[in-house]
Amino acid sequence: MSKIPGNLQAIMQQAKQMQAKLKQAQEDAKGIEVESSSGGGMVKVKVNGENQIISLEIKPEAVIPDDVEMLQDMIIAACNEALTNVQNEIKEGIAKVTGGVDIPGLF
C-alpha cells in the first residue's frame, strides 16, 4: 500500500480542520440575534441567525387606522434590515474561518 505524500497529507489535515471550524461557525450563527427598527423606533424587529423573527414590537402611536399601509411599510423595512444585518454577521463569521474565500452553499 502506498503512502500519502507529506504535503498532500498536510493539505487533507488542513481541510479537515477548516471543515470543523466551518461547522462550528454554522452552529455559532444560529445564536446570533440582531435588532433593527424603522419609523424612528416605532417598529422594532429582532431576528436570529436562522432567519426567524423572534420578536416584534410596535408602539401604539404607530397604529393609525386610516394609514395601515404606513405600518405595513415600517414592519417590512425593519424586517428586511434585520435579515440583511444578520446575514452580514454570518458572512463575517464565515469569512474569518475561510480567510475571505466565498464557498457557495454555506449560507
- Give the tens place of pLDDT for each residue, 13-38: 888 888 888 888 888 888 899 999 99
- Domains of the chain, residue spans: 6-98
d(CA 56, CA 5): 56
Output helix, strand, coil percentages for the chain, rounded to the nearest 5. 60, 15, 25
Instruction: Name the more confident of 1 and 22.
Output: 22
What pLDDT sits at residue 29? 84
pLDDT at 3 over 70: no
What pLDDT does 4 receive?
A: 64
Over residues 60-106, the pLDDT tens digits come to 999 999 999 999 999 999 999 999 999 999 888 888 877 776 666 65
Average pLDDT across the chain, whole number: 87
CATH superfamily of 6-98: Nucleoid-associated protein YbaB-like domain (3.30.1310.10)
* Nearest-angstrom CA–CA distance, 10 and 4: 10
Contact yes or no for 63/43 (Cβ under 8 A)? no
